[in-house]
Structure 1
Amino acid sequence: MTSTTHRDAAEIGRTERGPRPVPELGAQRAAADLSHVDTTLGNGLRVLAVRKPTVPLVEIRLRVPFGGTEPLHSATAEVLAETLLTGTAHRDRVGIDTELALIGGDLNASVDPQRLSVNGNALAARLPTLLDVLADALTSASYVDDEVARESDRLVERLAVSRTQPRVIAREALLRHCYGDHPVTREMPQAEDVAQVSPEAVRALHSAAVLPRGSVLVLVGDFDPEQVVGEVENALRDWSSPSDARIMPALPMLSGGDMLLVPRPGAVQSQIRFVAQAVPRTDPRYPALQLANLSFGGYFSSRLVENIREDKGYTYSAHSGFEFSGPSATVGVDADTANDVTAAAVLETRYELGRIAVDPPTAHEVGSVRQYAVGSLLTSTASQAGLATQLAALASNGLGVEWLATHPERLAAVTVEEVAQAAFDFFAPARFTGVVVGDAESLAPQLSALGGFTVGEPAAS
């Protein structure tokens, strides 16, 4: 008869002779040992072409700096991204979709306060066709009235749904709390602004801001990099401008301060968000800070997860991680909890921040997170799509394949003492600010008792 006795993870991990031994890790290999070309074309576009012949495909990632301070910039940019690939002077929407389908390809566009992104893929042998469609959109997107109206209506509907989502509400509240009226806070436009966007405004923004100088195109796939750069230069020969793409204004430096309680009447769950200033990937302290972050809350076996998820059950998911914006970077902590344990979860999060600053990661913890950091980097770049996305993020900040290839060495060189110093310098609770979004009537008394909280305006919905 089969036993139905439940065994937990600790029991499964032991035998009569003691804990099951963990297999030794194999020799680590470089994260990237790739044939590539990294060059800037005559039109100012940086092209990073990397050979990765795992499958006969190619992935492309175009990143165009797309900052703007005008009141309707966010709304116009969103409509532009939605309609960029709906028609050109030479192809209508059906023609674009059909041509991409015939080459096993896809293109899609999105935008945020920092950049316009165009992602795509196709069979490697059909890359010239993919580049031709991309060039057509970049140089002669038509933004016809009917398409703009149709996509604007859809966008308004999606915005209405998105703004009911707790995590979206928390994100907007956090950005406003940290950065006030800075353009970065307008990740999502207001529906009433989208309704004002005209086809003429979208065309004008495309002409003024969809520019090659300062932009980055990453290609990863089964090809010869030198040949591909020539194909890109030929395909995009008509995409040119003497102006530079628009970089978003630099973010102000964050300093620690009171948390903001953002009322969301009737909510049964709360969203907890802490944030503090960090350093970019180019800073010599970044590898040590990366390991300190992993120890704190950056992976499942971290201290924060062990405390408020595994031990106390306050949340299903707790996490800490980095967000990069040009030369700036922040480290954030997030968790969603039920109302009755929100204050306790905030208290324990503050406790873990203080603990890692004064009781830093041990040699064993550092060894574990070092292996995790290198392994996750290798995993994230194992596929063409993963490598292309990783390189696009790096290239947008002036980095490239060399940084990716040498980062495991930097992680390996970090000492336990350097991780301890990074934890002390960057994770002290006084360095953090943030928000809690939830039902203020039930949360305010408990959070006020903890101290360091002010009550803000109700969350928009």
Structure 2
Amino acid sequence: MSRTAEQIGRTELGPRPVPALGEQRVATDLSSVDTLLPNGLRVIVVHQPAVPMVELRLRIPFAGTDPMHAARAEVLTATILTGTDRRDRVAVDTDLALVGADLDAGVDPERLSISGNALVSGFDTLMDVLADALTGAVYRDDEVHRERDRLVERITVARSQPGTIAREALQKHRYGDHPYTREMPEAGDVARVTPEEVRALHRAAVLPRGSVLVIVGDLDLDRAVAQVESATAAWVSDSSAVVLPALPAVTGGDLLLVHRPGAVQSQLRMSAQAITRTDPRYPALQLANLAYGGFFSSRLVENIREGKGYTYYARSALEFTPSGATLLLETDTANAVTAAALLEIRYELGRFGLVPPKESEVDTVRRYAIGSLLIGTASQSGLASQLAALAALGLGMDWLVGHPARLTTVTAEQVAEAALEFFAPAHFTGVIVGDAEQLGTLLALGGVLMP
């Protein structure tokens, strides 16, 4: 006979005691090397022999101030792996497939990213295909035209989605016309990109100096560095990869209502200035963010999702920008409860500073933070991605290995200080995307600029 979870969890004497959590162990036995090659490429290699695989993450600063840069960058990214002087598209795919490998490219306003993996035995081939694309991508006219047309279709669809509209509105509200706001180009701009423009962008901006290559796998460290250096020997330039100019600080202020006629839901996006991982206050801020809205049992989620049912999804998060970091609060709500949800978000911000987390709450989010970090870096893929993100700040394995200890030493008082300093309601600004004709009750709350 089957038993319910409640029956399984109880005995004649009462509930079964919950076993204590095991000790969280940090992976301190990973060996690594962090070096700079003669061509200016920073290479981080970590020996992690969990499986006979290797993970690769290449990050190239790829900023541009030209309004057409985002469109050209998207087309370049879609076609950089479609053929070289030595390989056509079929040969690229075939050579990778024969060694169980894969490569994929992506771009944002900060950087061009190429990620991949392979069997350890195929690492030489993986590096050869990557280096071939970096130095010999030809961007054949037919490939550029084909991928450009696909991009136009995808961008047109994406730009109709409320989440995309809200993100773009928030970026412009925070940063004006800064190049960082151009996360997705206009479909019309993409349609005008020519193969010649893509080739010129590659020559000017796909550069090793200032770029970072992270490799994690069952590799001999010195031999891996030598393989990378040999493969990328022809990838040289006297110039450095282009980084974005500094962003203006986010200052608190009114929320901007962006009219979306006929919308049945509203997208709320709020933001405030934060600090980077290198700031000594960062561990306390990380735990404060988790307590406010950074995981499922947070104050924000308990209030507007579990308690009042205003939304299915709500969260707060730290976003790392080229020159700093910001806090992001986001949720989507039905029109009828948009004003009520905003009221509760503001209430929780104010309460967070005045009624700070207790020891038990801090201990819960500390365990969550450390556990999530250890789980996220337990795989070769997760570790490679984490290191690639840290490398943009000049950090590496030492910081990653030492972070659990930093979280362990954070006190409830320090979290309370972070809550008061960074989560004060007056520090936040943002946008609400929705049907203005259905959201008139927002006027009663104040602090909302109607269109």
TM-score, scaled to structure 1: 0.95
Aligned to 2:348, the other structure's residue is in SS state helix
Q: 1:120 to 1:2 in 2, by over 3 A?
A: closer
Equivalent in the alignment of 2:446: 451
Q: How much does 1:440 deviate?
A: 0.8
Is 1:376 matched up with 2:372? yes
Quick one: which amino acid aligns to residue 260 of structure 1? Answer: L
Equivalent in the alignment of 1:405: 401
Map 1:214-229 onto structure 2 (within 5 A).
Answer: 214-229=210-225
In 1, Cα distance between equivalents of 2:194 and 2:278: 41
- CA RMSD after TM alignment: 1.6
Unaligned runs of 5+ in 2: none
Quick one: which amino acid aligns to residue 121 of structure 2? Answer: A
Equivalent in the alignment of 1:396: 392
In 2, Cα distance between equivalents of 1:314 and 1:226: 55
Q: How much does 1:22 deviate?
A: 3.1
Is 1:128 matched up with 2:147? no
1:27-49 deviations in Å (ceiling 9; x for gaps):
22114431111001001100000
Map 1:170-249 onto structure 2 (within 5 A).
Answer: 170-249=166-245
Equivalent in the alignment of 1:343: 339
In 1, Cα distance between equivalents of 2:124 and 2:201: 27
In 1, Cα distance between equivalents of 2:11 and 2:450: 53
Equivalent in the alignment of 2:318: 322
CA contact (8 A) 1:304 1:318 kept: yes
From 80, 88, 104, give the equivalent of 1:108.
104
In 2, Cα distance between equivalents of 1:264 and 1:326: 30
Equivalent in the alignment of 1:437: 433
In 1, Cα distance between equivalents of 2:383 and 2:328: 24
Q: How much does 1:64 deviate?
A: 0.2
Q: Percent identity?
A: 65
1:304-338 deviations in Å (ceiling 9; x for gaps):
01000111111111111111123310011111111
In 1, Cα distance between equivalents of 2:14 and 2:276: 43
In 1, Cα distance between equivalents of 2:18 and 2:290: 20
Q: How much does 1:19 deviate?
A: 5.5
Quick one: which amino acid aligns to residue 82 of structure 1? Answer: A
In 1, Cα distance between equivalents of 2:178 and 2:10: 54
Aligned to 1:33, the other structure's residue is in SS state coil
Q: How much does 1:250 deviate?
A: 1.1
Quick one: which amino acid aligns to residue 180 of structure 2? Answer: V
Q: How much does 1:21 deviate?
A: 3.4
For this pair of structures, how many residues does the alignment match?
451
Map 1:7-18 onto structure 2 (within 5 A).
Answer: none
1:104-154 deviations in Å (ceiling 9; x for gaps):
000010100000000000001110100000000000100111111111000
In 2, Cα distance between equivalents of 1:112 and 1:97: 24
Quick one: which amino acid aligns to residue 307 of structure 1? Answer: N
Q: How much does 1:226 deviate?
A: 1.3
Q: How much does 1:23 deviate?
A: 2.1
In 2, Cα distance between equivalents of 1:190 and 1:13: 56
In 2, Cα distance between equivalents of 1:115 and 1:280: 18
Q: How much does 1:189 deviate?
A: 0.4
Quick one: which amino acid aligns to residue 153 of structure 1? Answer: D
From 289, 296, 302, give the equivalent of 1:293.
289
In 1, Cα distance between equivalents of 2:264 and 2:322: 37
Equivalent in the alignment of 1:65: 61
In 2, Cα distance between equivalents of 1:14 and 1:322: 40
Q: 1:2 to 1:76 in 2, by over 3 A?
A: same
In 2, Cα distance between equivalents of 1:337 and 1:253: 28
Equivalent in the alignment of 2:253: 257
TM-score, scaled to structure 2: 0.97
From 278, 282, 297, give the equivalent of 1:282.
278
Quick one: which amino acid aligns to residue 334 of structure 2? Answer: A
Aligned to 1:247, the other structure's residue is in SS state coil
Aligned to 2:441, the other structure's residue is in SS state helix
CA contact (8 A) 1:31 1:404 kept: no
In 2, Cα distance between equivalents of 1:119 and 1:62: 6
In 1, Cα distance between equivalents of 2:396 and 2:221: 15
In 2, Cα distance between equivalents of 1:407 and 1:12: 38
Quick one: which amino acid aligns to residue 208 of structure 1? Answer: A
1:349-380 deviations in Å (ceiling 9; x for gaps):
01111111111110110011111100000010
Is 1:162 matched up with 2:155? no
Q: How much does 1:12 deviate?
A: 8.7
Is 1:87 matched up with 2:83? yes
Equivalent in the alignment of 1:459: none
From 351, 361, 364, give the equivalent of 2:360.
364
In 2, Cα distance between equivalents of 1:344 and 1:14: 40
From 136, 141, 146, give the equivalent of 2:137.
141
Q: Which moved more, 1:113-122 or 1:18-27?
A: 18-27
Quick one: which amino acid aligns to residue 301 of structure 1? Answer: S
Equivalent in the alignment of 2:327: 331
Is 1:352 matched up with 2:348? yes
1:22-74 deviations in Å (ceiling 9; x for gaps):
32121221144311110010011000000111110000000000010001100
Is 1:50 matched up with 2:41? no
